[in-house]
Amino acid sequence: MLLRDKNNKSIKHINLMALVFALLFAFVATGVIILNEYLSFKAENEALRERYKEEQKKSALKNLHFLSDIVRYRFEQSKEEEESVIEKKIGEDIRALMRQESEHHYVFIQKKNQAFVYVTPAYANATFLDDSVESMVFEPLQWRLGSGVQMQGVEEVLAHNQKAYEDKIIDFVLKIYMLTLFLYLVSTIEYRYVSELIGREIRFISVSFKKASQNYEFIDTEKIKFQEFQEIVSQANAMIEQIKSKNSALLGLNSSLEEIVVQKTHELKQSVEYTKELLEKQDRFIKNAIHEINTPLSIILMNIDLYNLKYEKNRYLLKIEAAVKVLDNIYGDLEYIVKKDRVVYEKKMVDFSTFLLQRVAYFEDVAEGNKLEMKTHVAPDVFIVFNEIELQRICDNNISNAIKYSYENHALHVRLYEEKQAIVFAVENSGETIRSPEKLFNRYYREDVARGGFGLGLNIVKEICDANGVDIDVVSHEEKTCFSYRFKKERDEDFTA
């Protein structure tokens, strides 16, 4: 119940938790005190045991020396007599001279054959293996003299201390529990009284807040007894006053805003419709313009081909043909951009070697017009699974760019060869080193603005390569630039599927 919601606690819960923690603290403190008393008692008993042992050992040693003196004296006086007589006299001397300090002390004289000459009567059957036995050998007779103390005495003292300790602990615990019970009863009464007062005022404040939220009614501070709650209510009343004033201002503002919103919404709707209409017209214009451009370009190229069949090549027509083919390449890019989102470009098996040689032949006049020599290094019978339109965009844009950015009177190399896992198409030219290869494939980016162009060709190439898993590599240094494209080889079963 106390922990039903960690994030939502009432004052009753907090007070009750404080009371429980106080009780727990009292019990823990009592336990700690009892534990300390027990440890102290245990240490005291251990010290008492050791002290008792030391005192008894000293007493046993003292008795041993006294016993030795008696035996030596009697032996010196009676050494001419028989050993049995000496034994009897020594026993009489011991009984006459040695006073037993306590019932736990004893002395004994033992022969070499383990027979006793004398032993304290109460200990006639003892084994004398106690740790508190002190002994020595009387050499003339080879007797073992001993004195000892039985340790039952210390155990009796310790038992008496244990009983006194238990009585003390019981009395202490009873007093603690009585005090705890008294404090618990007082705390419970105080808790119930204070909780009732606080709960009553909180309920009043809660009801007043609900009324204030509905009709902005002020809370009566005269009905609040606790100063802390009075401060809360005063702040709430000030907030209600501000809300009332701001609400009236908002109502007026809201009415004017509604009119403005309606007006602006109507204007925005008209603007959106107008913009949409402009975009549709622009799209139609681009599509129509692309279509219209294609027709005259085709006518120009066809007539140039007819002229070349009848007459010798004309250098002026050669330049015209080169320019038209550049325009035709741009037209191909624009047409692809317009159609790419509406047309699915199906793949098929393409003879890449023949296809590339045809594209090189198409641009030979353009290269010749730019005073360039195109050299091909095309491996025969290289096949690839690709869409021809997309493959043409890759080939045409790379060959066209290589021609556009090459130095005059230099060779332009077009290569096609196979590696173990890929087919590589590469175009290399001699020209200015590319400053920012990483930007080449961005839309509308041009390395040399003065040469014109839209900056679309390589961006189209990048999109096609990304969509078909073709890796691109650009190397440009020492006025040599090479664009390489690695097409993954398709397995026959993949294409068949």
- Name the token pair of 401: 């760019």
**pLDDT at position 377:** 95
- Report the amino acid identity of residue 339: K
Query: Are residue 84 and residue 180 in the same domain, yes or no?
Result: yes
Judge whether 394 and 387 are in contact, CB under 8 Å: no
Query: Are residue 128 and residue 246 in the same domain, yes or no?
Result: no
Query: Are residue 20 and residue 50 in the same domain, yes or no?
Result: yes
Query: Are residue 286 and residue 372 in the same domain, yes or no?
Result: no
Query: Are residue 72 and residue 139 in the same domain, yes or no?
Result: yes
Q: Which domain holds residue 117?
A: 1-215
- Using one digit for the tens of pLDDT, what is the confidence trace for 325-375? 666 667 666 666 766 677 788 999 999 999 999 999 988 888 888 889 999
Query: Are residue 209 and residue 249 in the same domain, yes or no?
Result: no
Burial of 344-354, coded b for 16+ CB within 10 Å and e otherwise, reads ebeeeebebbe
Who's near 444: CB < 8 A, 6+ residues apart? 454, 455, 456, 459
- d(Cα 298, Cα 281) in Å, to the nearest integer? 26
Strands 411-418 and 373-378: parallel
Query: Are residue 304 and residue 384 in the same domain, yes or no?
Result: no
Query: Are residue 282 and residue 418 in the same domain, yes or no?
Result: no
- Using one digit for the tens of pLDDT, what is the confidence trace for 224-264? 777 777 777 777 777 777 777 777 777 777 777 878 888 88
Q: How far is CA 206 from CA 203, 210, 214, 343, 450, in A?
A: 5, 6, 13, 67, 77
**pLDDT at position 1:** 42
- d(Cα 406, Cα 457) in Å, to the nearest integer? 17
Residue ranges of the chain with per-residue pLDDT less than 50 = 1-4, 129-131, 450, 452, 493, 495-497
Query: Are residue 296 and residue 360 in the same domain, yes or no?
Result: no
Q: Exposed (0-12), middle (13-18) or buried (19+): which is 138, by Cβ within 10 Å?
A: middle
Residue finishing a domain among 260, 295, 312: 312
Domain count, the chain: 3
Query: Are residue 70 and residue 210 in the same domain, yes or no?
Result: yes
**pLDDT at position 456:** 76
- Using one digit for the tens of pLDDT, what is the confidence trace for 143-167? 888 888 776 656 666 677 777 777 7
- Name the token pair of 111: 């022969």
Judge if pTM exceeds 0.95.
no
Query: Are residue 62 and residue 28 in the same domain, yes or no?
Result: yes
| Angle in degrees, CA 295, 296, 298, rounded to 5 | 65
**pLDDT at position 442:** 79
CATH number at residue 388: 3.30.565.10
Residue finishing a domain among 164, 180, 215: 215
Own/partner contacts of 160-165, CB < 8 Å, gap of 24 or more, are 161/41, 161/44, 161/45, 161/48, 162/45, 165/37, 165/41
Residue finishing a domain among 171, 196, 215: 215
Query: Are residue 355 and residue 452 in the same domain, yes or no?
Result: yes
Residue in the structure block whose two tokens are 């109460």 = 122
